[in-house]
Structure 1
Amino acid sequence: MSAVPPEGPVEHGADPQLGRSRMRTAVVWEVLREALDGRVEQGPGRELDVLDTGGGAGHFAVPVARLGHRVTVVDPSPNALFALERRAADAGVADRVRGVQGDVHGLFDVAERDGYDAVLCHGVLEYVDDPAEGLRNAAAALRPSGLLSVLAPGLGGAVLARALAGHFSDARRALTGTDGRWGEGDPVPRRFTAEQLTSLVGDAGLEIRSVHGVRIFSDLVGGLEEQEPGAVEALLELERAAAQRPDFHSVASRLHVLATRK
């Protein structure tokens, strides 16, 4: 696995907040890059066609393009697509990144059916009206044996975070509610358990390859700048070690599922 997350490496002695930000995407990026590299090995030297639904400003799309792949980003926000254009230009991959305005429910108004080797569905399912329909569309955009990467908020991580912060009523509300929200001020419209998310992916006609817990510890600890030298790197190694263990999926802030079209 590459140890380089989308925004660059976590360097020893780097600013703790910058390191924390990069660390939060590191596990997903490492898994995704390894999976994309595996696709390329099946067709040596072949560039992949990648669709990033809800890809926003290109935090994953641009690094994927830097690997040599062609990426189409579908996002409803014109501002995000403008930021994507600038990010791609700054990274020297403007010729491999295309942004189009749209969303996963109207996906085939702007994207091809059966047209992509990989589809990213990161930070989408919590916002759409019908997550099942969104996943079915994402799956239908894949070529046979194509790869789907899904990233969504985990229920258990939110419950644990609210409880540790002393907001016990919020924690109970999230735990017992139908959408995993802890209250009116909750910025996340919907959360999932690992079982709910994998069930949705399976019902979309996909074969699950792996499930990872993401941000299991990093959202719960603070004051990294006050910890011993190398704390950011040590925390990242802990996240990596726990990511694939099912017993930690129930307390992860994010859940990452890799699947392939049957």
Structure 2
Amino acid sequence: MSPQGGAEPIRPRASLRTAVVWEVLRDALERRAKAADRPVLDVLDTGGGTGNFAVPVARLGHRVTVVDPSPDALFALERRAAEAGVTDRVTGVQGDTHGLLDVIAPGGYDMVLCHGVLEYTDDPAEGVRNAVGALRPVGSLSLLAAGRGGAVLARALAGHFAEARHALTDPDGRWGAADSLPRRFTADELTRLVTEAGLRAASVHGVRVFADLVPGVLVDTQPGALDALLRLELAAAEEPGFHSVATQLHVLGERG
């Protein structure tokens, strides 16, 4: 993958958390637009919050509908879209994944983003099925969720060995009662959710393999370290061996 950022630069340190997903997403949008012979796609961002991905996608020229249960998040989305000059291409709708098909038009979108949603969904399989139900006969699903192995590694490196073992054996990948995430996934689990919903798993990437583990002082004080770490993240993301230790996992599902 290219280390260029598309609509928004990916140089700041915080962008290490989204660089891999943005690269996959941008390439998928380009391919989908060419295949559909339409420069403007209809994109649905379920659980899209304040528009971390929705606004950059709109800046590429696409129409984006964001469904989120939080009125405050949708208000922040509206403000963010206005600041980016894409108000006419971003629409906020209050709702959640469980009732997704009640608040948007089924079968009306070229791509659906489902990022950071399945961790909090009571029935992840239903959540993926609803997201797929929003797709046109030819479309793509961008699925991003927390990885089980990344939590195990992070707790172990922090010296919390009992919690690391708990996360390793817990059915939901939680490290204890104080864990803020209801569940985490393996790459196989996410891929199975996608395929059982009727899509082909076109690619699987590990996200934040190193970014959450490397001390900030090493990146901030060494010339060129940020770019080097970014390139390492992009390269490692495609290697299956690193999926098991990634903080997040990204699956691109396609239909048609």
What is the TM-score normalised by the length of structure 2? Answer: 0.96
2:39 to 33, 46, 50: 46
**Closer, same or farther: CA 226–22 of 1 in aligned 2, 3 Å:** closer
Deviation at 1:46, TM superposition (A): 2.9
1:86-141 CA-to-partner distances (Å, cap 9, x unmatched) read 00000000000000000011001111111100000000000010000000000011
CA contact (8 A) 2:119 2:183 kept: yes
CA contact (8 A) 1:75 1:103 kept: yes
CA contact (8 A) 1:139 1:261 kept: no
1:136 to 129, 136, 140: 129
Structure 2 equivalent of residue 186 of structure 1: 179
CA contact (8 A) 2:3 2:230 kept: no
**Closer, same or farther: CA 85–226 of 1 in aligned 2, 3 Å:** closer
**Closer, same or farther: CA 125–5 of 1 in aligned 2, 3 Å:** farther
Q: In the alignment, residue 5 of structure 2 is paired with which amino acid?
A: V
Find the aligned partners of 2:7 and 2:66 in 1 and give their Cα distance. Answer: 16
The 3-state SS of whatever aligns with 2:120 is: coil
Structure 1 equivalent of residue 248 of structure 2: 254
CA contact (8 A) 1:55 1:74 kept: yes
CA contact (8 A) 2:220 2:226 kept: no
Structure 2 equivalent of residue 27 of structure 1: 20
The 3-state SS of whatever aligns with 2:79 is: helix
Does residue 237 (structure 1) correspond to residue 231 (structure 2)? The answer is yes
Find the aligned partners of 1:172 and 1:194 in 2 and give their Cα distance. Answer: 19
Structure 2 equivalent of residue 202 of structure 1: 195
Deviation at 1:44, TM superposition (A): 3.5
Deviation at 1:42, TM superposition (A): 1.6
**Closer, same or farther: CA 6–167 of 1 in aligned 2, 3 Å:** farther
Deviation at 1:7, TM superposition (A): 5.3
**Closer, same or farther: CA 191–5 of 1 in aligned 2, 3 Å:** farther
Structure 1 equivalent of residue 159 of structure 2: 166
Find the aligned partners of 2:218 and 2:178 in 1 and give their Cα distance. Answer: 27
Aligned residue pair count: 254
Structure 2 equivalent of residue 15 of structure 1: none
Does residue 4 (structure 1) correspond to residue 5 (structure 2)? The answer is yes
1:30-71 CA-to-partner distances (Å, cap 9, x unmatched) read 110010011111233431000000000000000000010000
Structure 2, unaligned stretches of length 5 or more? Answer: none
Structure 2 equivalent of residue 228 of structure 1: 222
The 3-state SS of whatever aligns with 1:56 is: coil
Find the aligned partners of 2:233 and 2:69 in 1 and give their Cα distance. Answer: 32
1:152-174 CA-to-partner distances (Å, cap 9, x unmatched) read 00000110010011000000000
CA contact (8 A) 1:206 1:261 kept: yes
CA contact (8 A) 2:147 2:184 kept: yes
Q: In the alignment, residue 173 of structure 2 is paired with which amino acid?
A: G
Q: In the alignment, residue 241 of structure 2 is paired with which amino acid?
A: D
Find the aligned partners of 2:61 and 2:18 in 1 and give their Cα distance. Answer: 20
Structure 1 equivalent of residue 100 of structure 2: 107
Q: In the alignment, residue 113 of structure 2 is paired with which amino acid?
A: L
CA contact (8 A) 2:3 2:231 kept: no
CA contact (8 A) 2:199 2:255 kept: yes
RMSD: 1.3
Structure 1, unaligned stretches of length 5 or more? Answer: 11-18
Find the aligned partners of 1:238 and 1:225 in 2 and give their Cα distance. Answer: 13
